[in-house]
Every structure is written in C-alpha cells, then in structure tokens.
Structure 1
Amino acid sequence: MSPKYVEDALNYVDSADLPEPRSGRRGSPESKTVLDALDTTRQQAAVVGSEVVAFAEGVPGVFRQNLANSTLLAQLVATKKVPDKARIFDWYDAYFDALANIGWTVQERNFAVYVESGQNFEAHKAIIAVLSMAFGPGATAVAMLTGTLEALQSMDADSPWITLFSKESMAADTATFQVSAVEKGPDGEPFVTLAAFGLHATKDLTQVLFFKARASDVTLRHCSSKIAIDAAVAAAVQQPLRDKLAAHAVDFVKTLPDL
C-alpha cells in the first residue's frame, strides 16, 4: 500500500464530519473502558450502533477495536451526510464510501430483495436465511451470528443492547442495520463476513431484529460481502480513529455478556 493511500486515510479520519457527541463525556475513562472490553481473544459479540458483530476465538483485540471503530465511523459519517433514514441506499452509499476511505475493501455493494417463502415474515429468521444463502448453511459465520441473535432474543426488550440497536437502526417504517462475523482465515489473518440490510414496512417499526409481520407488508433488501482492511492502513489509523471516536464510543459500543 502506497504511503499516499495511508496519508489519504489519515486525512479522511481527521476531517470526517460527525454528529455532535451525545453524552459530552469526551475523553472520559468510560470511553477507554468500552474499547478495552474488546481487547480480548475469546469468543465475543458486541452491538456497535446499528451493527451486531460476533468475534471468533483468537481474533486479536486490536482488530476487534479497529473494526468497531471503523464501522462506527462509517455509521456516523453516513448519518451526518444522510440524516433521513428513509433514504436507505443513499445512507449505505455513504457508509460503504467511508469504509473504503479508511482502507476497507468491500467486495459487493449491490442489494437484492429477500423473498419470503411463507406468508409470515420474522426478521431474525430472514437474516439467518440470507446469511445461509450467501455463505453456506454450515459456514462458521452463520453459526456465530445465529448464536448471537439467539442470545439477543433471550434478552429483555429494554436491555441496553436492544435499546441501542433499535435506536440506531430504526426510523418510522424503515430500518438500516448490519450483522458481521469475524474469523481467522487459513493464513491466520482475520477476515470479516458482512451482511447489510434495508427494511421497509407498511407500518411504523417498534423493533427490528425480532420484528414479525405478514410477508406482504415487508420489503427486505440485503447485501452480503467479505471485507478486509489493508494492514498498513489499519496500523496507521488505529489511534487516530480511537481519538476521533472517544466521545462517541461510550454511547454506541456495548459488548454483550459472554456467549
């Protein structure tokens, strides 16, 4: 990777236009603790704004922090640029562009319509079906995210994880949300399986992951991809990203209890 590409990524992080922090706890010990909770190699899951991410055992803590910060930056940039969440695909264009600007390569950005075979639609089952179609029903990523969704389903609707995810993903009758799984590849390097979703319903949503409705009342679009980050860029932007998001992490990143 050329030095100019690294410089461009650093400039992008420095100049990224983000919404104002919610809590005003800039530089507080809490923001450091939130990210340090991802500094582990055990199996782990977290909610990062509108994304649910599951990490396999052995994925380095620094990679977990980089991914959480990267997707949070991309969400915040997209929300600042496209505050109307009804503009689902404009929001996703901004989201994917932000990831690309900080070194992430996204293989696929085209959305397809999910077709429900039955009369009733259940969001978490549709998510698993999409992942199974994209990556194979026996894929480790599918198993990891299925387990994570089941853990979230068992939680109270007022839990901080569900509350955060719902707030960041929903707006009236539309929702944008992502699920991702991080594993170690045959070469020992982590890689990310990402699925992005855009949901539109005929009625206002009260929650997303476990939303149920008649299939005819819901349109779900999805994009599934493998994403990776250049190692030189990742190393260069690690601390600037952490500094840029210090005032946001405490409000947008929550690790789940051990799975």
Structure 2
Amino acid sequence: MRTNPLAFAATAPIETVPFSSLEGVIEAGGPGLQLDKLPAGVVAGNTLIDYSGTASDEMRSAVSLAMVFAGRVAAKQVGKDAPEDEWLAAYQTALGQLGFSVGGTAMQRARFSKKGLLVHNAIIPFLTIALGGAGVGPVILAALHNLQEMDKDRPWVTLFDRESRRHESRELHFAAIASDSTTTTIRHVIARLAYEATTTNVLFLKIDDVTAEFESATTQIIGNNQLLATIAPKLRERMEQDIGGYIATVGDI
C-alpha cells in the first residue's frame, strides 16, 4: 500500500545520529551549505551525485533531500547491522513512498582486472559502463580521477566514507541525475566490495586478491518534478537540525 508522499515525508520515522559523529562534515554543511544553490557534484547521504544533467537548483536540492531522507528511513527501519540487501530494499521502498518510480535492479558479480590500484581509480572503468557511457556522470568520474592522498580529510570524502561503512561489506553508491521540464531520472549504481574491517578510507583502499571481487547493482529511478518540489520543504524541515552532516559539496573538479 502506497502512502501519500507528503504524508510520508511528514511522518516517517528517521534515523538519528549523535552530533559528534557528524564532525568533519557539519562544519562544511552547516552555515556554509547552500541547499538552494548546490553545485554539480554533491555527496548526499551515502551517494556521490552528478548533477551536471540537471540545471535546476530546485531539483538538485529536492533530489538530495529525498535521497538522504530515504536512507535515514531505511536505517531506522532495519537497523545499522542489517544485511546490505535488506537496507537497499528498505531504501528503495522509501523512495517509492516519496513518489519515485523505482525500476528493477540489475545485479552482477565482477572482478577488478588490475591489482594494486586504489579503489577510486579501479572503479572508474566499471562506473563508466554502469552509468551509461563516457558522456554520463562526468563530475563523478572527474572527482575520482582527481583524488589524491591530501584529499582524504575533505568533508565530502569523510561523509562518503562514513556512510559506506554501515555494513560488513563496503557499498559505494553513485548517481547521475538528468532532468527535463517534467521528470527527473536517477541512474543509481552501487559497487559492493567485501573486505574485513579496516580504518582505511574505502576510496583509498588498495585492490588486492581479497578485494578484487565485487558485486554491482544498477537501478533507474524516476521522479515527478512537481511532486519533488512539493515534498522538498517538508523533508528540509524534518532534517533541518543536522542536514549539514548528510550533504557535502564536492566543490570544483
């Protein structure tokens, strides 16, 4: 049974996180976060988002809020120790309750062909294909290409890594967003790497025989622009106190 999206936005329970765990992101997201003027590269919750196909500031803000909200609903519903697939199902269900049309998810297993590369470099060829070709997701690909050791402490990297550590494996979420006058389409891609817990930031993990295998999931998600614009203020109101700990701008690429 589908809930009215505005009612769901107003009443669905969401995960709460201790303020101390938001340090390193909240400073960049709090007073300095301009939700109404997000750049083409953003991390929202656990997802590195490319908005280069979405010129609308309103849609950039609305989609970011919706994806963060759906993630927090899922975390509250299934708990932080739930299996990855259970969390993903709850996340996609929450997006559906917010009015998105969520297509089927294509799952496949694969291997990184080159060993010794850091994850952020090794993942690029896979993402190029999964996002739909070299012309899709240029901001995501540029952000990964340009990562250096000095970037480890940047707020968006801190946020992305924190949200990727929810499960026994590490899930890297990416999304390329495209909007026209009526709809917004999300090409959502997950790369799931299995490896033992480590303090290493997942983007800077070196691929070896243990981490070479991964599982991928690709889903197309479509939202109605008018509906997104309607529910966005309520989502913002629900998360106003700590939204800076969940959204960070990638900045200049």
Task: Identify the match of residue 163 of structure 2 among 156, 168, 177.
Answer: 168
Equivalences for 1:10-159 in 2 at 5 Å? 10-23=6-19, 33=31, 37-40=34-37, 44-56=40-52, 59-85=55-81, 87-120=83-116, 122-141=118-137, 143-153=138-148, 155-159=150-154
Measured at CA, do residues 47 and 207 of structure 1 come closer, stay the same or move farther in structure 2, by a change above 3 Å? same
Q: CA, structure 1 residues 189+90, in 2 after alignment: closer, same or farther (shift >3 Å)? A: closer
Change in Cα spacing, 1:59 to 1:86, as seen in structure 2 (3 Å) is: same
User: Given residue 257 of structure 1, which amino acid in structure 2 is its aligned partner?
Assistant: G
> Partners in 1 of 2:67 and 2:104 — Cα distance?
16
Instruction: After TM superposition, give the deviation of residue 189 of structure 1 in Å.
Output: 5.4
- Residue 93 of structure 1, CA deviation: 0.8
Unpaired runs of 5+ residues, structure 2, are: 21-27
Q: 1:223 aligns with which of 217, 223, 231?
A: 217
Name the SS of the counterpart of 2:112 in structure 1.
coil
Structure 1 residue 58, shift from structure 2 partner: 5.5
TM-score, scaled relative to structure 2:
0.82
The percentage of aligned residue pairs carrying the same residue is 22
Q: Deviations over 1:99-145 (max 9, x none)?
A: 1110112223232112222344642234322222234442232x221
Say which SS state the counterpart of residue 213 (structure 1) adopts: coil
Residue 253 of structure 1 is aligned with which of 241, 247, 250? Answer: 247
Report how far residue 203 of structure 1 moved.
5.0
Give the drift of 1:9.
0.9
Return closer, same or farther for 1:85/1:180 CA change in 2, 3 Å cut-off. Answer: farther
Residue in structure 1 matching 2:175, options 172, 175, 180: 180
- Aligned-partner residue type, residue 146 of structure 1: L
Deviation at 1:241, TM superposition (A): 1.0
Please give the per-residue CA displacement for 1:44-86, whole angstroms capped at 9, x wherever unaligned.
2112221111221762111011111011011111222233456
**Residue 19 of structure 1 contacts residue 76 of structure 1 at CA under 8 Å; is this kept in 2?**
yes
Q: Deviations over 1:199-252 (max 9, x none)?
A: 211453521123213134444211123322023421321211111111231211
> Hey, what's the Cα distance between the residues in 2 that align with 1:236 and 1:171?
31
In the superposition, the TM-score normalised over structure 1's length comes to 0.81
| Structure 1: distance between partners of 2:152 and 2:30 | 27
Please give the alpha-carbon distance, in whole angstroms, between the structure 1 residues aligned to 2:126 and 2:224. 27
2 CA distance for matches of 1:151 and 1:49? Answer: 21
Taking only aligned residues, the RMSD between alpha carbons, in angstroms, comes to 3.0
Moved more, 66-75 or 205-214: 205-214
Distance 1:16 1:78 in 2: 10
**Mapped contact 2:41–2:139 kept (Cα < 8 A):** no
Matched, 1:196 2:193: no
Counterpart amino acid of residue 252 in structure 1: Y
- Does structure 2 conserve the Cα–Cα contact (< 8 Å) formed by 1:170 and 1:205? no
| Alpha-carbon contact 2:83-2:167 (below 8 Å) kept | no
> Which amino acid in structure 1 is aligned with residue 233 of structure 2?
Q
Report the secondary structure of 2:69's partner residue.
Answer: helix
1:38/1:54 CA distance change after superposition, 3 Å: farther
